[in-house]
Structure 1
Amino acid sequence: MFDWKVNLGIIMVWVNAAPSSAFKFTLPKILTEFGYTSSKAQLTSIPPYVAGGISSWLVGRTADRFAWRFPFIVGLMCLLLAGLAILYSLSKNLAVHVSVMYFAIILAQIGIYPLLPGVSAWTGNNLAPFWKRSIGLAWMLAAGNFGSLIRTNIFLPKEAPKYTTGYATSISIVILAMTATILQEILLWQENISRAKVSENDIRSQYTQVELDAQGDGSQLYRYTLRNGIRVFTHGEITLEHSFPGSIKDYVAG
């Protein structure tokens, strides 16, 4: 629960929860400006979510292909940030920029939908043993969803249609999450480099295999999942539990 990787993951998950109210308040107004009502308005609200679904599938496949989550997570956050920035900057004159704002919502959905599975896969791959992964992911998702409490209190009716507080808070959360993502990547690389400097013989002279297995991802023999998607292990239960036998496509990438 107090692992720094889980805590950084919580900040990343906030991006999936907090800014989404921007679309709830903006999309209906855009459809109204289009002059659509009833069934036609419902149909026009579908493309942003279809784009988000396609993005989730495509990003998941591509991240598995390259076995590297970090650039995709940061890239998606950039798309979300761009979408929110466009919505905020043009919200005061929505009637004039309705098409651009509709595009911004699609862009933001493309960015926000794949984030939760990507962050979950990245964080889960770097937690061990299995019980720590289970508890860590559960806590990350639960605490991350507290972002929903934020979103319900930042888009103030009195600030319509600009919603300065709502957009400013949402954009700030995205920037904070991007910082957390970059920080986690750097720290994981640094930890792997630090552990690589210690020989296996030195480590095994200090700990038994049972003790190393109990240490999980805290073991000096453990390597965090980064670009190659496969950790480097030695012998014992850690190897059996966390190595990737078979095709890498059968497993989530780091």
Structure 2
Amino acid sequence: MDKVASRTSTDPEKNVDSSSLGSDQPIVNSELEAKVWRKLDVWILPIVTLFYLLSFLDRTNIGNAKIAGLLTSLKMTPKQYSIALTVTYVPYIAAELPSNLLLKIVGPNLMLPTMITLWGIVTACQGTVKTYGGLLACRFFLGLLEGGVFPGLVLYLSFFYPRLRLQTRIAAFFSAASISGAFGGIMAYGIINLSGKHGHSGWQWIFIIEGAITSLIGLVSFFFLPNSPDTARFFNEEEKAYVKATLKHDGVLDPEGTDSFSWSEVAKAFTSIHVLIVGVIFFFSGVVLYSLAYFTPSIVQTLGYTAAKAQLMSVPPFSVAFVLTMITAYISDRYHCRGAVTVFGSVLCTVGFAMFLGSKNHHVQYGSLFLSIPGTYSMAPAVSAWNANNAAPHIRRATAIAIGFILTNSGGILATWLLGSLSPPPRYTKATKILLIFSVLMGFFAALNMVYLTRENKRKAAVRKESTRTDEATALGDKSAWFVYSL
């Protein structure tokens, strides 16, 4: 590794506060330590969690609408349904990187609530469409407005939390995805009873009511979402300084304040080996996660339940997913084991899909959902935190996060076809085989990334040891050696 003399080097993981170089001890102030993170957990985390709950609910409630009569009312075929889902992902993917790069420039306090308010309006409009073409138009704009939400929320949390506190928070808001699976089923069960009211079918009321709730919350959030620790009204000056010092020590903030836009940092994210390996995991995870998110009500219905009962029977697996997601996130943050949690999730998915594929017993097949759904939902925040933890400075981290979710949603495109026209019910044999293979590959690439990062950390440790034998200026120049990758 070449050593440079300048302390303002734009090389990757180099932005570590020079005051902390040579020390493995974190910045700790016993009086502020618990207070500042508790304040963030009270003021920031619930809003972010609610945003993602609404995002996932409004994107996947079409699965509930499907078994409530959407296809019949709009005279759609299974292939057209898959096309409608795919149309959502094309603008969704296109919006992710530009949105993440713009987030800090525009300000998350303005950008995130605006997106939420507008996509809520589009969601409600889905409940008024009379034709298949109208549904496609709504799905396109829904994807365009929602595209930056998940990567934007992960990036936004990294403005406030140090790396080893991040996964628990990502898990807290991502667990909203599993809650949305449970909550969406319960809501849909109640809402479809409104069928016929004011001339709207039950599936239309699902979109109208859930979209109206989203827009209302988006408007209210303009008044509560802070832009950064500096503008957080719930912090006093001492607390703001402590958070910023902690983030600088952690390598999250550039101590020289030079986190300006740079195309070279964007390019470095695309060529970082660990970003690419995790990107493969993101793709496979996206296929598995969105297959289950969109088609679980349909899968449950094929096991012999009525449409209304299928809405309710999809709730328990997602409820288990929520609990497991929070437990594994705590373990991951506590023991710094992002990769191990990812491997664990892949094992659960593998066993779950093997059970579904290998048995014709409906009880066994339903039971398999209690492994595959919690497995994929507990894995996603671990991979997201892993990706965010290991990229710095800001532009590179924003790009790496966007790359991850571009690949996740590319997987979502494949998911829309796997359990649709490519693998018909009730067995979904071809889809299940593919999901089983992808589950195994997720564990393989997670293990591969752990090996690679371990090797890199050993190499950095050797450089740090060597730097103690050189003069201080040279040691400070090679700041990348002080950025330790999260495993």
Partner of 2:315: 46
Q: Residue in 2 aligned with 1:171?
A: 436
**Residues 135 and 168 of structure 1: is their aligned pair in 2 closer, same or farther, counting only changes over 3 Å?**
same
Q: Which has the higher contact order (CA 8 A, sep 6+)?
A: 1
- Give the alignment of 1:118-129 within 5 angstroms: 118-129=382-393
2:282 to 13, 20, 24: 13
Match of 1:135 among 399, 416, 419: 399
Q: Trace 1:46-65 onto structure 2 (pairs within 5 A).
A: 46-65=315-334
Question: Which residue matches 2:298?
Answer: 28
Q: Is the 8 A contact 1:120 1:137 kept in 2?
A: yes
Q: Does 1:4 align with 2:273?
A: yes
In 1, are the aligned partners of 2:418 and 2:431 still within 8 Å (CA)?
Answer: yes
What residue identity is the alignment partner of 2:298?
A: P
Question: 8 Å contact 2:274–2:453 — kept in the other structure?
Answer: no
One-letter amino acid of the structure 1 residue matched with residue 440 of structure 2: I
**Is the Cα contact below 8 Å between 1:22 and 1:166 reproduced in 2?**
no
Separation (CA, whole Å) in 2 of partners of 1:35 and 1:160: 14
Tell me the SS of whatever aligns to 1:176: helix
Instruction: Decide which moves more: 11-20 or 197-206.
Output: 197-206
Q: Matches of residues 1-254 of structure 1 in structure 2 within 5 Å? A: 1-19=270-288, 20-21=290-291, 24-25=294-295, 27-31=297-301, 33-38=303-308, 40-90=309-359, 93=360, 97-155=361-419, 156=421, 159-198=424-463, 199-201=466-468, 207=474, 209=476, 212-213=478-479, 219-226=480-487
Could you say if the C-alpha distance between residues 158 and 50 of structure 1 is closer, same or farther in structure 2, counting changes exceeding 3 Å? Answer: closer
Quote how far apart the aligned CAs of 1:193 are.
1.3
Q: Give the Cα separation in 1 of the matches to 2:292 and 2:349.
A: 11
How does the TM-score come out when normalised to structure 1?
0.74
The 3 A distance-change label for structure 1 pair 34 and 162 is closer
1:21 partner letter: S
Deviations 1:198-234 (A, max 9, x none): 311467689574x545xxxxx23332123xxxxxxxx
CA RMSD of aligned residues (A): 2.5
The structure with the larger Rg is 2
Contact 1:27/1:45 (CA < 8 Å) preserved in 2? Answer: yes
**Structure 1 residue 16: deviation in Å?**
2.8
**What does the per-residue CA deviation read over 1:9-30, in whole Å, with 9 as the maximum and x for residues that have no partner?**
1111123321242575565354
Corresponding residue pairs, total = 214
CA apart distance, 1:68: 1.6
Equivalent residues of 1:203, 1:220 under 8 A apart: no
Q: CA deviation at 1:165?
A: 2.6
Q: Is the contact made by 2:457 and 2:485 (CA closer than 8 Å) also made in structure 1? A: yes
2-structure distance, mates of 1:45, 1:164: 20
Instruction: Name 1:251's counterpart in structure 2.
Output: none
> What TM-score do you get using the length of structure 2 for normalisation?
0.40
Compute the displacement of 1:60 (Å): 1.2
In 2, the alpha carbon distance for the partners of 1:16 and 1:120 equals 11
Structure 1 gap segments, 5+ residues each: 214-218, 227-254
